[in-house]
Amino acid sequence: MADDRFDLLQGTLGLVILKALLGGELHGYAIARWVEDTTSDVLRVEEGSLYPALRRLEDRGFIAAQWGLSENNRRARFYGLTAAGRRYLKAEAERWLEFSGAVTRVLRAAPSLA
């Protein structure tokens, strides 16, 4: 049986991570679960993509990290959105919504796919 979930493209992964952090600080595993829960398991974030993306976002000043304890009392790095990250998320979300709307219009245009 084919897996009908999609791996996130690197270009959109940062945007999705920033959106996950809009609600507050999360550790890596919680970010991945948030994405899967929010998309009803359509999108998934693998560890091999998540942690390098978190590092890139931290290097760009869009997120900050600190050590803390997870819900199972394990040491984990928690990531939070910075002011620069919030501004970047707003701008990129607007661009993404415009782009995805345009692609949707193309796919719905005549001739029909049906």
Average pLDDT score over residue span 45-65: 96
Q: Are 25 and 63 in contact (CB under 8 A)?
A: no
Q: Is the pLDDT of residue 7 over 60?
A: no
Report yes or no on 98 lying in a domain. Answer: yes
What local confidence, expressed as pLDDT, does residue 84 receive?
98
Q: Is the pLDDT of residue 6 over 60?
A: no
Full residue range of the structural domain in which residue 84 is found = 6-108
Supply the pTM of this predicted model: 0.87
DSSP 23-74: TS-EEHHHHHHHHHHHTTTSEE--HHHHHHHHHHHHHTTSEEEEEEE-TTS-
Q: Are 82 and 73 in contact (CB under 8 A)?
A: no
Report yes or no on 22 lying in a domain. Answer: yes
| Domains identified in the chain, total number | 1
Report yes or no on 63 lying in a domain. Answer: yes
80-113 tens-digit pLDDT: 999 999 999 999 999 999 999 999 999 999 999 8
Average pLDDT score over residue span 54-71: 97
